[in-house]
Chains A and B, each alone.
Chain A
C-alpha cells in the first residue's frame, strides 16, 4: 500500500492511527467520500497502490464514483468501509448498516466483513481478489471491532 485515501470515521479510526505511524504510507485526506475513488484511480494510473477508507454512509454518497471510476474502469481497489451501526446480533436500528451489504450486492461488489481479529485473514483475500478480478472489493469494518480495539470509544 502506498497511499491511504480517507475521510475518517469512528469505525476505522484505529486503522488511521496505525497507518499514520507507518512512514512509507502517504495520507490523502479528502473533503467528501465521493472524491476518494477518483483520487485512488489517478494514483493507480500513476503506478501507485492506494486503498480508500470511508464510512458506509459516505459510500452511498460516492455511488457515481464507484460506478464510473471503479466498476466502470475495472479498478483493482480495496475499499475499507466503516460498518456504522453493524452488530453481531443483526438487529441494527441504523439504516446505514442495514443497507450496506444489500447495496454492495446490488452493485456487484465483492465484500468481506471484519468483526474481530479472527477475521483479519480476510484482508489479504480482499487484496488478492481485487488484483485477480480488476474490480473494487470492500472490507467492512464492524463497529464492535472498532470498540474492542479501543478506537470507537
Chain B
C-alpha cells in the first residue's frame, strides 16, 4: 500500500503545469506539495463530481494536461462518468483513483464492496490505458511515461486508509474556497479576469 503523502509527492513531481482537480483526503496532501495553487481546484462542496469537472476543463483546454485526483467512494457515486470520459476521449486527461476501500472523512465506514477494480472498470468503458499500483517505487518510475501518453488514462493507487475520527467541518470559509479557486484558474487559463461575484459565498 502507498501512503497518501507519498502518492501526492510523486504525482506532483511529474505534474509540470497540469491542472489538478482533487477531492477528499488527498486534497490535504496535495496542497502540501503543490506549487501551482492557481491550477488547483479542491472539489469540497459538490460530492463526487471531481471527475466531471476535470473532464470539462480537459475538453475546454485541450492543450493543457489535466489531472483528476479522485477517490473510490466518490467515483462510485459518479460511476457513469467513466463512460462519459471514455466517450469524449480527452487525450489530455489523467484520472487518478485513490482506492482505500472506506469512507475516510466520515470515520472509516466500508464502501458497499471493497473488491471493485477501478482500472478494470475504466478499461471496460474504453479508457486509452489503465494502471494499478500498490507500491510507490513502481508508481514513481512509471508516472512520467504514463502522464505523457495519450489519455484518457486511469491510474488506480492502492492507498493506506486514513479514517478521520473528527470528520470534516464545512464552514463558510471552506465553502468559499472553491469558487475563489475556480476564478483564479479561469484567469490563469484564459487570461480573463471577468468572472465577478455570484452565489452565497462571494
Contacts and interface: CB of A to CB of B under 8 A. Distances in A.
Interface of A: 3, 26, 28-32, 34-35, 38-48, 50, 64-65, 67-69, 71-76, 133-135
Given A38-B49, A46-B60, 14 more contacts: A28-B84, A29-B84, A29-B87, A31-B81, A38-B46, A42-B58, A43-B60, A45-B41, A45-B53, A45-B189, A46-B190, A47-B189, A47-B192, A72-B200
Interface in B57-109: 57-61, 64, 78, 80-81, 83-84, 87-88
Contacts of B88: 28
A42 B57 contact: yes
Contact of A64 (B47, B59, B60, B185): B47
A39 B195 contact: no
Contacts of A35: 49, 52, 78, 80-81, 84
Nearest to A76: B198
A87 B45 CA distance: 36
B144 interface: no
A28 B83 CA distance: 12
A41 B56 contact: yes
B189 A34 contact: no
A74 B186 CA distance: 13
Most chain B beta-carbon neighbours within 10 Å: one of A64, A65, A72: A72
B49 A135 contact: no
Given A47-B186, A74-B179, A134-B196, A69 B84 contact: no
A41 B182 contact: yes
Given A64-B47, A65-B46, A74 B60 contact: no
Nearest to B192: A47
Interface of B: 21, 41, 45-47, 49, 52-61, 64, 78, 80-81, 83-84, 87-88, 175, 178-179, 182, 185-186, 189-190, 192, 195-202
Contacts of B81: 30-31, 35
A69 B199 contact: no
Given A28-B88, A65-B49, A39 B179 contact: no
Contact of A133 (B52, B53, B198, B201): B198
Most chain A beta-carbon neighbours within 10 Å: one of B57, B60, B179, B200: B60
A105 B45 CA distance: 22
B56 to A, nearest CB: 2
Contact of A47 (B61, B80, B175): B61
A68 B189 contact: no
A63 B74 CA distance: 16
Contacts of A75: 198-199
Contacts of B49: 34-35, 38, 65, 68-69
Given A47-B60, A68-B46, A73-B199, A30 B80 contact: yes
